[in-house]
Amino acid sequence: MLNILVIEDDFNAMEFCCESIRTILPDCSIHQAGNAEKALTIMNQYMIDVFFIDVELPCMNGFQLAQKIRENFNYTLTSIVFVTGKQVNQLAIHKRYHHYEYVMKPFTFLSFQKSIGPLLSELNNLKMKNQTTTLSEREKYVFIKTKNFNEYLKYTDILFAETENRGIKLVTKAVTYSEIKMKLEDFILTVNSPSFCRCHKSYAVNLTNVNGLRSAGRRLWSVEFSTPANGICFVSSTFYDSVMLVLGNEKSGKEIVL
Protein backbone atom coordinates (compact mmCIF):
# COMPACT_ATOMS: atom_id res chain seq x y z
CA MET A 1 0.00 0.00 0.00
CA LEU A 2 1.46 3.34 -1.05
CA ASN A 3 1.94 6.28 1.32
CA ILE A 4 0.96 9.40 -0.62
CA LEU A 5 1.30 13.01 0.51
CA VAL A 6 -0.89 15.70 -1.07
CA ILE A 7 0.15 19.31 -0.42
CA GLU A 8 -2.59 21.77 -1.37
CA ASP A 9 -3.79 24.94 0.38
CA ASP A 10 -7.28 24.92 -1.18
CA PHE A 11 -9.58 22.50 0.68
CA ASN A 12 -11.81 21.67 -2.30
CA ALA A 13 -8.85 21.11 -4.59
CA MET A 14 -7.26 18.95 -1.90
CA GLU A 15 -10.36 16.75 -1.59
CA PHE A 16 -10.74 16.39 -5.36
CA CYS A 17 -7.09 15.40 -5.76
CA CYS A 18 -7.41 12.80 -2.99
CA GLU A 19 -10.59 11.36 -4.50
CA SER A 20 -8.89 11.19 -7.89
CA ILE A 21 -6.03 9.21 -6.37
CA ARG A 22 -8.49 6.83 -4.70
CA THR A 23 -10.16 6.08 -8.04
CA ILE A 24 -6.82 4.49 -9.01
CA LEU A 25 -5.70 3.05 -5.66
CA PRO A 26 -8.67 2.69 -3.28
CA ASP A 27 -6.52 1.18 -0.50
CA CYS A 28 -3.65 3.66 -0.51
CA SER A 29 -2.82 5.79 2.54
CA ILE A 30 -3.15 9.51 1.79
CA HIS A 31 -1.66 12.19 4.05
CA GLN A 32 -2.67 15.83 3.64
CA ALA A 33 -0.83 19.09 4.22
CA GLY A 34 -2.07 22.63 3.63
CA ASN A 35 1.41 24.15 3.48
CA ALA A 36 5.06 23.26 2.99
CA GLU A 37 5.94 23.35 6.68
CA LYS A 38 3.31 20.71 7.50
CA ALA A 39 4.48 18.63 4.52
CA LEU A 40 8.08 18.60 5.78
CA THR A 41 6.87 17.41 9.18
CA ILE A 42 4.76 14.61 7.71
CA MET A 43 7.49 13.32 5.40
CA ASN A 44 9.78 12.90 8.43
CA GLN A 45 7.07 10.96 10.29
CA TYR A 46 6.12 8.62 7.44
CA MET A 47 8.05 7.18 4.50
CA ILE A 48 6.26 8.82 1.56
CA ASP A 49 6.15 7.03 -1.80
CA VAL A 50 4.67 9.85 -3.95
CA PHE A 51 4.30 13.60 -3.45
CA PHE A 52 1.50 15.63 -5.09
CA ILE A 53 2.51 19.30 -4.74
CA ASP A 54 0.46 22.36 -5.58
CA VAL A 55 2.86 24.86 -7.14
CA GLU A 56 1.04 27.93 -5.78
CA LEU A 57 1.54 27.37 -2.04
CA PRO A 58 1.77 30.22 0.51
CA CYS A 59 5.10 31.21 2.12
CA MET A 60 7.13 28.44 0.45
CA ASN A 61 5.96 27.58 -3.09
CA GLY A 62 5.80 24.08 -4.53
CA PHE A 63 9.15 24.29 -6.32
CA GLN A 64 10.91 25.44 -3.16
CA LEU A 65 9.29 22.56 -1.28
CA ALA A 66 10.43 20.13 -3.96
CA GLN A 67 14.00 21.37 -3.48
CA LYS A 68 13.71 20.70 0.27
CA ILE A 69 12.41 17.21 -0.45
CA ARG A 70 15.28 16.44 -2.82
CA GLU A 71 17.81 17.57 -0.20
CA ASN A 72 16.56 14.80 2.11
CA PHE A 73 18.55 11.65 1.29
CA ASN A 74 15.44 9.51 1.87
CA TYR A 75 13.65 11.25 -1.01
CA THR A 76 16.34 11.83 -3.62
CA LEU A 77 14.42 9.87 -6.28
CA THR A 78 10.90 9.71 -4.82
CA SER A 79 8.22 10.54 -7.41
CA ILE A 80 6.93 14.12 -7.39
CA VAL A 81 3.81 15.26 -9.25
CA PHE A 82 3.25 19.01 -9.55
CA VAL A 83 -0.35 20.28 -9.59
CA THR A 84 -0.79 23.73 -11.11
CA GLY A 85 -3.06 25.97 -13.09
CA LYS A 86 -0.20 27.91 -14.68
CA GLN A 87 1.87 27.09 -17.74
CA VAL A 88 5.56 26.59 -16.94
CA ASN A 89 8.68 25.39 -18.69
CA GLN A 90 8.22 21.70 -17.95
CA LEU A 91 11.60 20.63 -19.31
CA ALA A 92 13.51 23.11 -17.17
CA ILE A 93 11.54 22.17 -14.07
CA HIS A 94 12.03 18.48 -14.76
CA LYS A 95 15.81 18.88 -15.06
CA ARG A 96 15.97 20.73 -11.76
CA TYR A 97 13.57 18.72 -9.61
CA HIS A 98 13.29 15.38 -11.48
CA HIS A 99 9.53 15.35 -11.18
CA TYR A 100 7.34 12.71 -12.81
CA GLU A 101 4.42 14.68 -14.26
CA TYR A 102 2.26 17.78 -14.19
CA VAL A 103 -1.44 17.74 -13.43
CA MET A 104 -2.98 20.84 -14.94
CA LYS A 105 -5.92 22.46 -13.13
CA PRO A 106 -8.78 22.05 -13.67
CA PHE A 107 -8.67 18.29 -14.24
CA THR A 108 -11.21 15.47 -14.31
CA PHE A 109 -11.13 11.95 -12.88
CA LEU A 110 -10.57 10.63 -16.40
CA SER A 111 -7.67 12.96 -17.29
CA PHE A 112 -6.08 12.30 -13.90
CA GLN A 113 -6.29 8.53 -14.37
CA LYS A 114 -4.78 8.81 -17.83
CA SER A 115 -1.76 10.85 -16.75
CA ILE A 116 -1.11 9.54 -13.24
CA GLY A 117 -2.65 6.06 -13.26
CA PRO A 118 0.41 4.29 -14.76
CA LEU A 119 2.75 5.84 -12.17
CA LEU A 120 0.64 4.92 -9.15
CA SER A 121 -0.09 1.41 -10.39
CA GLU A 122 3.57 0.68 -11.13
CA LEU A 123 4.81 2.06 -7.80
CA ASN A 124 2.17 0.09 -5.93
CA ASN A 125 3.12 -3.13 -7.74
CA LEU A 126 6.82 -2.60 -7.00
CA LYS A 127 6.18 -1.91 -3.33
CA MET A 128 4.00 -4.99 -2.94
CA LYS A 129 6.66 -7.10 -4.68
CA ASN A 130 9.42 -5.77 -2.45
CA GLN A 131 7.39 -6.45 0.67
CA THR A 132 7.03 -10.09 -0.27
CA THR A 133 10.58 -10.63 -1.52
CA THR A 134 13.56 -10.92 0.83
CA LEU A 135 16.78 -9.00 0.23
CA SER A 136 18.61 -12.26 -0.45
CA GLU A 137 16.25 -12.91 -3.38
CA ARG A 138 16.87 -9.64 -5.21
CA GLU A 139 19.75 -7.36 -6.10
CA LYS A 140 20.22 -4.52 -3.64
CA TYR A 141 21.46 -1.14 -4.83
CA VAL A 142 22.52 1.90 -2.82
CA PHE A 143 22.11 5.46 -4.09
CA ILE A 144 25.00 7.91 -3.61
CA LYS A 145 25.29 11.59 -4.46
CA THR A 146 28.69 13.21 -4.93
CA LYS A 147 29.65 16.75 -5.84
CA ASN A 148 29.72 15.90 -9.55
CA PHE A 149 27.21 13.09 -10.12
CA ASN A 150 24.62 10.67 -8.73
CA GLU A 151 24.91 6.91 -9.02
CA TYR A 152 23.41 3.61 -7.94
CA LEU A 153 25.94 1.13 -6.58
CA LYS A 154 25.44 -2.60 -6.27
CA TYR A 155 25.54 -3.36 -2.56
CA THR A 156 27.81 -6.38 -2.94
CA ASP A 157 30.45 -4.13 -4.60
CA ILE A 158 30.76 -1.90 -1.52
CA LEU A 159 33.71 -2.63 0.78
CA PHE A 160 33.68 0.15 3.37
CA ALA A 161 32.88 3.79 4.07
CA GLU A 162 35.23 6.22 5.81
CA THR A 163 34.65 9.65 7.32
CA GLU A 164 36.30 12.28 5.14
CA ASN A 165 36.21 16.01 5.93
CA ARG A 166 32.50 16.82 6.33
CA GLY A 167 31.29 13.78 4.39
CA ILE A 168 32.40 10.25 3.61
CA LYS A 169 34.65 8.36 1.22
CA LEU A 170 33.23 5.13 -0.16
CA VAL A 171 35.54 2.32 -1.26
CA THR A 172 34.12 -0.31 -3.62
CA LYS A 173 35.72 -3.26 -5.40
CA ALA A 174 36.49 -1.14 -8.46
CA VAL A 175 36.20 2.58 -7.60
CA THR A 176 36.71 4.94 -4.68
CA TYR A 177 34.12 7.74 -4.36
CA SER A 178 35.01 10.94 -2.52
CA GLU A 179 33.05 14.04 -1.51
CA ILE A 180 29.84 12.22 -0.65
CA LYS A 181 27.99 14.84 1.39
CA MET A 182 26.50 12.57 4.03
CA LYS A 183 27.33 11.71 7.62
CA LEU A 184 28.57 8.18 8.24
CA GLU A 185 25.60 7.31 10.44
CA ASP A 186 23.18 8.57 7.80
CA PHE A 187 24.84 6.44 5.13
CA ILE A 188 24.53 3.37 7.37
CA LEU A 189 20.79 4.07 7.68
CA THR A 190 20.54 4.51 3.90
CA VAL A 191 22.18 1.13 3.23
CA ASN A 192 19.79 -0.44 5.77
CA SER A 193 21.40 -3.87 6.04
CA PRO A 194 22.50 -5.80 9.15
CA SER A 195 25.69 -6.79 7.32
CA PHE A 196 26.71 -3.13 6.87
CA CYS A 197 27.69 -1.84 10.27
CA ARG A 198 29.84 0.62 12.13
CA CYS A 199 33.22 -0.84 13.06
CA HIS A 200 35.08 2.29 14.24
CA LYS A 201 34.20 5.91 14.97
CA SER A 202 35.39 6.72 11.43
CA TYR A 203 34.51 3.52 9.51
CA ALA A 204 31.57 1.33 8.51
CA VAL A 205 32.12 -1.99 6.73
CA ASN A 206 30.21 -4.36 4.46
CA LEU A 207 30.78 -7.69 6.20
CA THR A 208 29.59 -9.71 3.19
CA ASN A 209 32.99 -8.93 1.61
CA VAL A 210 35.12 -9.58 4.70
CA ASN A 211 37.23 -12.69 5.34
CA GLY A 212 38.30 -11.68 8.82
CA LEU A 213 40.34 -9.31 11.01
CA ARG A 214 44.03 -8.98 11.76
CA SER A 215 45.62 -7.29 14.74
CA ALA A 216 46.89 -3.81 13.86
CA GLY A 217 48.03 -2.77 17.31
CA ARG A 218 46.62 -2.41 20.80
CA ARG A 219 42.80 -2.61 20.69
CA LEU A 220 42.75 -2.11 16.89
CA TRP A 221 42.23 -4.53 13.98
CA SER A 222 42.48 -4.16 10.21
CA VAL A 223 39.87 -5.72 7.94
CA GLU A 224 40.85 -8.49 5.51
CA PHE A 225 38.61 -8.26 2.41
CA SER A 226 37.88 -11.03 -0.08
CA THR A 227 39.10 -8.69 -2.85
CA PRO A 228 41.89 -6.05 -2.78
CA ALA A 229 40.79 -2.76 -1.24
CA ASN A 230 42.03 0.73 -2.06
CA GLY A 231 42.77 1.66 1.53
CA ILE A 232 42.56 0.22 5.03
CA CYS A 233 39.45 -0.22 7.13
CA PHE A 234 39.87 -0.51 10.90
CA VAL A 235 37.82 -2.10 13.67
CA SER A 236 38.14 -0.63 17.16
CA SER A 237 37.62 -2.47 20.44
CA THR A 238 34.32 -0.64 20.95
CA PHE A 239 32.78 -2.40 17.94
CA TYR A 240 34.86 -5.60 17.90
CA ASP A 241 32.34 -7.92 19.59
CA SER A 242 29.36 -6.78 17.49
CA VAL A 243 31.39 -7.01 14.27
CA MET A 244 32.59 -10.51 15.09
CA LEU A 245 29.05 -11.62 15.93
CA VAL A 246 27.70 -10.50 12.54
CA LEU A 247 30.81 -11.70 10.74
CA GLY A 248 30.40 -15.14 12.31
CA ASN A 249 26.83 -15.31 10.99
CA GLU A 250 27.92 -14.13 7.54
CA LYS A 251 30.75 -16.66 7.33
CA SER A 252 28.95 -19.55 9.02
CA GLY A 253 30.75 -22.77 8.07
CA LYS A 254 33.71 -20.88 6.59
CA GLU A 255 37.13 -20.08 8.05
CA ILE A 256 37.49 -16.64 9.57
CA VAL A 257 40.94 -15.02 9.51
CA LEU A 258 42.01 -13.63 12.90
Same-domain pairing of 8 and 92: yes
CATH code assigned at 77: 3.40.50.2300
> Is residue 256 included in any domain, yes or no?
no
pLDDT of the chain, 258 residues: tens digit per residue: 899 999 999 999 999 999 999 999 999 999 999 999 999 999 988 889 999 999 999 999 999 999 899 888 778 778 899 998 776 555 455 555 566 677 888 889 999 999 899 889 888 887 776 555 444 434 688 888 877 777 888 888 999 999 998 899 999 999 999 989 899 999 998 888 888 999 999 999 999 899 888 888 888 999 999 899 999 999 999 999 888 888 765 554 444 444
Q: What is the pLDDT of residues 70-127, one digit of tens each?
A: 888 778 778 899 998 776 555 455 555 566 677 888 889 999 999 899 889 888 887 7
**Shared-domain flag, residues 52 and 155:** no
Both 112 and 27 in a single domain? Answer: yes
Query: DSSP states of the chain as a string?
Result: --EEEEE-SSHHHHHHHHHHHHHH-TT-EEEEESSHHHHHHHHHHS--SEEEEESS-SSS-HHHHHHHHHHSGGGSS-EEEEEESS---HHHHHHHH---EEEESS--HHHHHHHHHHHHHHHHHHHHHHHTS-GGGS--EEEEE-SS-EEEEEGGGEEEEEEETTEEEEEESS-EEEEE-S-HHHHHHHH--TTEEEEETTEEEEGGGEEEEEE-STTEEEEEESS--SS--EEEHHHHHHHHHHHHHHTTTS--B-
Whether residue 234 sits in one domain with residue 149: yes
Same domain, yes or no: 113 and 7: yes
Q: Please check whether residues 193 and 156 belong to one and the same domain.
A: yes
Domain-terminating residue out of 131, 164, 196: 131
CATH of the domain at 192: 2.40.50.1020
Structural domain that includes position 223: 137-250
This model's pTM is above 0.75: no
